[in-house]
Amino acid sequence: MGKETQNMWSYAPALEGTGHLTIQKKYGLFINGEFVKPNSGKYFKSINPANEELIAEFAEANEKDVDLAVKAARTAYDKTWSKMPAKERGKYIYRIARMMQERARELAVAECLDAGKTIREARDIDVPLACNHFFYYAGWADKLNEAFPGKKPKSLGVAGQIIPWNFPILMAAWKIAPALATGNTVVLKAAETTPLTAMILAEIIQESGLPNGVVNIITGAGKTGAALVKHPDVNKIAFTGSTEVGKLIQKSIAGSGKKLTLELGGKSANIIFEDAPLDQAVEGIVNGIFFNQGHVCCAGSRLFVQESVAQKVIEKLKFRLESLIVGNPLDKNTDIGAINSKAQLETIEKYLKIGKEEGAEMFQPKCDLPKKGYYCPPTLFLDVAQSNRISQEEIFGPVLAIQTFRSIDEVIQKANNSPYGLAAGVWTDKGSRIFNLTTQLRAGVVWANTYNKFDPSSPFGGYKESGFGREGGLHGLTAYLKFD
Ligand code: ADP
């Protein structure tokens, strides 16, 4: 199909309805089983990045609020949760999973409105995976001794959890479900640009009858997060976010005895060998970096193509980019939704400028971006050098830096030449090559002939500046346990 043919027709709009979602004007903090006004008296606004309209106002928790949340979590831990038989704890976690499933459509639309991600992604990936995390960890709650035979696993106490804006409900599930299954209580802080689904989850938790204070959900920005990290009565910090803040957190809790897991940035390599199924690989590249606007910490933002097929892959990729639909995230046809915030769009645009100044060739398909809201077309950079900032630094947008390689050793060396090590993708017909690369690539996850696949039973986490500790699977339990 030629380019003209491809663009001759377009899809009619297919907007997801929003009538089933009730958004309150103002949300309080969820502390000790109740929605309460913040001591700070302050609220901040969350807007829809697709059209810049106000979604709702959310409470800004100050130190006093954080202290109240931690106190509620401590009391619930001492008096209720740590004393409850594990089987009973499991039942609550199952109940939360089922109630999330019942409100799945609502959660998906809320995520789409607040985060700017496409309804397809929120509906088919984020929300089902979030429910599955609760289901998966509910199953472990009464089997910890079998999971770690002879090691006498024990809970830690109160877990402080801080999450980013790229997968709001999924990150909340990744954090809360294993913490509860291992018998800990929780204070979770949602990200300041995406607090809506966390508050819907709080409603679900309240309705589930989970004992008061076992899960507390607070909102606010960096200062609120810092207060939670510093609180002396928190036993564990689980953080997902930028490497910069991760380093600050590590410094601030050094010597405190608090257990820490960090899931930070990435600049993941997607590697295409000449024997790979090229059409599938091109789809994998698109899935790896362009769907979800590149707002995935493990996005395949560096592409390495074997020289002999580079021309062909780039042609196919450009052709595919022409057909990607950028626009209203609520439209089921949309492939690339809105960039999460104005600040993030400015960061991406800064890198587009840097890429051009560094001498890389930029390609963007023709597309009409909506007049309001924050959007960025899918972007390729060709002729990128290893030392270029666009191939070294995390951009967190739909921007792909492309390089070529000739030999296996060369591509391993290039792929590992990064301060990060979160994920990688390998596309080849040869099983032995896959095994060779999975052992040599310094990345927490290596996908073979696919990309961005997640499952609650499989651990996820990074090397080097991408952090430490694993979430998901059995490994995810150990982050919330101590052993004799
Ligand atoms: P991003 O660049 O993805 O927004 P951040 O690391 O800035 O990542 O934010 C991730 C989460 O960390 C958010 O919930 C944010 O409010 C929180 N945060 C930001 N600064 C701090 C800090 N100094 N201490 C603790 N949490 C913080």
Q: For ligand 1, atom 19, name the residue with the nearest CA.
A: 222
Query: 3-class SS at 289?
Result: helix
pLDDT at 484: 80
Is 297 considered catalytic here? Answer: yes
State the pTM of this model. 0.96
Cα atoms in the Cβ-side hemisphere of radius 13 Å centred on 87:
0
Which is catalytic among the residues 106, 111, 131, 297? 297
Q: State how far the Cα of 143 lies from the Cα of 93, in Å rounded to an integer.
A: 14
| Structural domain that includes position 298 | 269-448
Total domains, the chain? 2
Query: 3-class SS at 214?
Result: coil
- Greatest Cα pair distance, the chain, in angstroms, is 68
What is the CA(71)–ligand 1 centre distance, in A? Answer: 23
Which is catalytic among the residues 16, 263, 394, 471? 263
| CA separation, residue 187 to residues 73, 184, 206, 355 (Å) | 7, 10, 14, 40
Q: How confident is the model at residue 179 (pLDDT cuts 50, 70, 90)?
A: very high
Q: For ligand 1, atom 4, name the residue with the nearest CA.
A: 164
Give the pLDDT mean for 100-129.
98
The answer to whether 338 touches 398, Cβ cutoff 8 Å, is: no
pLDDT at 3: 46
Residues of the chain with pLDDT > 90, as a percent, come to: 95
Give the pLDDT mean for 180-205.
98
Q: Does residue 459 form part of some domain?
A: no
* Ligand 1 pocket at CB < 6 A: 162-165, 189, 191-192, 221-222, 225-226, 229, 241-242, 245, 248-249
Q: Does residue 21 form part of some domain?
A: no
pLDDT tens per residue, range 144-161 = 999 999 999 999 999 999
Q: Does residue 56 form part of some domain?
A: yes
Among 275, 305, 299, 304, CA closest to 287 = 299
Q: State how far the Cα of 34 lies from the Cα of 216, in Å rounded to an integer.
A: 9
What is the CA(159)–ligand 1 centre distance, in A? Answer: 17
pLDDT at 9: 72
Q: Which atom of ligand 1 is nearest to the CA of 191?
A: 14
**Most ligand 1 atoms within 8 A of CB, residue of 162, 230, 348 to mutate:** 162
pLDDT at 407: 97
Q: In this structure, are 260 and 273 located in the same domain? A: no
Q: In this structure, are 285 and 236 located in the same domain? A: no
Q: Does residue 94 form part of some domain?
A: yes
What is the CA(241)–ligand 1 centre distance, in A? Answer: 6
pLDDT at 80: 98
Q: Is the dihedral of CA 427, 365, 402, 348 positive or negative?
A: negative
What is the CA(300)–ligand 1 centre distance, in A? Answer: 22
Q: CATH no. for residue 38?
A: 3.40.605.10
Q: In this structure, are 244 and 296 located in the same domain? A: no
Q: In this structure, are 212 and 328 located in the same domain? A: no
Q: In this structure, are 78 and 215 located in the same domain? A: yes
Q: Which atom of ligand 1 is nearest to the CA of 228?
A: 25
Q: In this structure, are 186 and 52 located in the same domain? A: yes
DSSP character string of 65-123: HHHHHHHHHHHHIIIIITTS-HHHHHHHHHHHHHHHHHTHHHHHHHHHHHH---HHHII
Q: CATH no. for residue 417?
A: 3.40.309.10
Q: How confident is the model at residue 7 (pLDDT cuts 50, 70, 90)?
A: low
Q: In this structure, are 106 and 248 located in the same domain? A: yes
pLDDT tens per residue, range 384-395 = 999 999 999 999
Q: Which atom of ligand 1 is nearest to the CA of 190?
A: 14
| CA separation, residue 13 to residues 16, 17, 118, 333, 373 (Å) | 10, 12, 14, 7, 18
Q: State how far the Cα of 97 lies from the Cα of 119, in Å rounded to an integer.
A: 20
What is the CA(242)–ligand 1 centre distance, in A? Answer: 7
pLDDT at 468: 87
Radius of gyration of the chain (CA): 22
The answer to whether 115 touches 165, Cβ cutoff 8 Å, is: yes
Q: In this structure, are 246 and 174 located in the same domain? A: yes
Q: State how far the Cα of 308 lies from the Cα of 275, in Å rounded to an integer.
A: 10
Q: For ligand 1, atom 7, name the residue with the nearest CA.
A: 242
The answer to whether 441 touches 429, Cβ cutoff 8 Å, is: no
pLDDT tens per residue, range 279-333 = 999 999 999 999 989 999 899 999 999 999 999 999 999 999 999 999 999 999 9
Q: In this structure, are 475 and 441 located in the same domain? A: no
